[in-house]
Amino acid sequence: MKNKLIDRIASQSKKIFGTVIVVTILTLSVGRKFAQELTCQVTVMAPTLKSNASNTEIIKEMESSLYEFVNATKWTDDEFKDEEKIDMTIQITINTKTGSGSFTGSIQISSSRPVYNSDYKTRLFNWKDEKLSFEYQRGAALIYTPDRHQNNLADVVAFYVYMVLGYDYDSFSLKGGAKYFSKAQQIVSNCQTASEKGWKPTDGKKNRFRLVDNALNNAFANLRQCYYSYHREGVDYLYEDRDKAIDKMVAALKSLETIHRTQPNSINVQAFFSAKADEIVLLFNETPPAIKNKVYLIVTRLDPGNINKYNKMKK
């Protein structure tokens, strides 16, 4: 059976970073001198709110303000090329609104980056935060202040931008995203006295405090190594050496077993598999049976919540 997804990644003409592979390798060897930033699509929905002109207008304005806030802000000190930017999506679902301009709902964040020597993009982060609450008034600017909590909507979005950047940079160099995880952690620290939920370690099992605290915790070092090995030593090299790249990806996934033994069902490993489950199925479903079965045993042990997806590998 032809390895369709692998071949799609591995056989595309070199469209992203140079026209010959040596140029790509030289660029990588000096790090991400021209690093990526964001191309973010923002959607705000309010399916439970009364459909009227006032609600429609404020939702549209909120969506526009968020789009401008994320895409117009310079989040890093690096230089960026258009083809290197991170694809990011933000979807906010509003459940309640009061007359004073208070909103509650959820926010879904997803990001992906290009794969070298291909037009394929690999997803890095996919997370839904159910604890979103904020104040928003028409005509008011979204203000993010790095050293204090001022605007909860801006702080939540900035937090997830830095998480996205952290994992993206980790996928290019080992622990390369530490700077951005630290910025996300600073936002969490600023918000420890905030009245809004989601910032404190006691705010349920899935909260922003634990998401970034784990990212910087040595107990999760293998996860950050996995992000690097799976993407930079794996997917990025499927064109150059398919067998070696697949071996690196399998080893990267297996390395997460160490975390599972001490931190079972951790939200950071959940976030990884939320982003990668579909790709793992599509990619490894086309590998030889020995590799496919090995991966199946690994992922069903680490990510039982997606077992229905992984069972497709057994057909």
pLDDT tens profile 51-99: 888 889 999 999 999 999 999 999 999 987 888 889 999 999 999 998 8
What's residue 6's pLDDT?
60
- Closest by Cα among 9, 15, 64, 16 to 40: 64
What are the backbone angles phi and psi of residue 101, rounded to the nearest 5°? 90, 25
pLDDT classification of 2: cutoffs 50, 70, 90: very low
Closest to 129 (Cα-Cα) out of 181, 88, 92:
92
Band the pLDDT of 50: cuts 50, 70, 90: confident
- Residue 203: band (very low, low, confident or very high) from pLDDT cuts 50, 70, 90: very high
Range scoring the smallest mean pLDDT among 31-45, 134-148, 188-202, 269-283: 31-45
Alpha-carbon distance 97 to 80, whole Å? Answer: 38
Mean pLDDT score of the chain, rounded to an integer?
89
> Which residues on neighbouring strands pair with residue 298, listed in sequence order?
none
| Domain range list for the chain | 4-314
Backbone angles phi, psi at 89, to 5 degrees: -125, 140
Q: Does 28 have pLDDT greater than 80?
A: no
> Across residues 169-174, what is the average pLDDT?
97
- The pair phi, psi for residue 97, each rounded to 5°, is -145, 135
pLDDT of residue 35: 36
Cα Rg of the chain, angstroms: 20
Phi, then psi, of 65 in degrees rounded to 5: -65, -40
pTM: 0.89
**201, 207 contact by CB (below 8 A):** yes
Does residue 211 register a pLDDT over 90?
yes
| Spatial CB neighbours of 145, under 8 Å, sequence gap ≥ 6 | 151
- Confidence band of 5 (pLDDT split at 50, 70, 90): low
Q: Which of 7-16, 125-134, 266-275 has the lowest average pLDDT? A: 7-16
Q: Which residues, including other chains, have CB under 8 Å from residue 30's CB and lie 6 or more apart?
A: none
pLDDT at 313 over 80: yes
Distance of CA 202 to the CA centre of its chain: 23
Confidence of residue 7 (pLDDT cuts 50, 70, 90): low
Mean per-residue pLDDT, 155-169:
98
What three-state secondary structure class fits 224?
helix
Please give the pLDDT value at position 84: 84
Q: Please give the pLDDT value at position 10.
A: 55
Furthest-apart CA pair in the chain: how many Å? 60
> For 230-266, b where at least 16 C-beta lie within 10 A, e where not — what string?
bbbbbbbbbbeebeebbebbbebbbbbeebbeebeeb
Of 11-15, 19-23, 38-42, 138-142, the poorest mean pLDDT is in: 19-23
Q: How many residues are given for the chain?
A: 315
The mean per-residue pLDDT over the stretch 112-122 comes to 92
In degrees rounded to 5, what are phi and psi of residue 168? -65, -45
Check whether 178 has a pLDDT greater than 80.
yes
pLDDT at 18 over 70: no
In the chain, beta strands by DSSP E: 38-45, 86-97, 102-114, 121-135
Task: Report, as an integer, the average pLDDT of 215-242.
Answer: 97
What's the token pair of residue 59? 């939702």
- Evaluate if residue 193 carries a pLDDT over 90: yes
Please tell me the predicted confidence (pLDDT) of residue 100: 82
